[in-house]
Copies of this chain bind each other. A is one copy, B any other.
């Protein structure tokens, strides 16, 4: 199981055998059942996650309505915006499926950075990669229509449509379920006509 984490990290930097052993020894693997709330609004966030298996969504309430902000699946890291900061979370984190994750905490992280400086380099590099991804996602989203957003998600994360209800996907895409339904209908008609 830990190999997945090593594999993920190896994409970005060379992992020495020593570091690999340290990572495996220090990793806390946990399982949670579908429906588990990992973090509630108002709580302090002291945990981040790397998903081996399953799906997590983050959301908040606005006018009594759940707004889905993110959907995380295998090989993704889940770091609440308030992780390690002493401020209450605005977001809920909920397991949409049974999940298997490693759990990280600020203390554990700092301890590991002190022992293994390469890990800090790794963390910085992965961070830069994530920043570049967010930049691109934001730019793309800003300059596309709901239909293009739907099509892009189908291309980049087709699995989501097999495992997450459409109303949650609609919210994640920033539209109403009715709009998503209409878009899907339009596209089906087009493909049938061809």
Residues of A within 8 A of B (CB): 62, 67, 69-70, 79, 81-82, 113, 117, 120-121, 123-124, 127-128, 130-132, 134-139, 141-143, 172-174
Contact = CB atoms under 8 A, between A and B. Distances in A.
Interface of A is mostly: helix
A45 B143 CA distance: 23
Nearest to A139: B69
A172 B142 CA distance: 8
Contacts of A173: 142
A134 B133 CA distance: 10
Contacts of A70: 135, 139
A132 B174 contact: no
A173 B139 CA distance: 10
A19 to B, nearest CB: 16
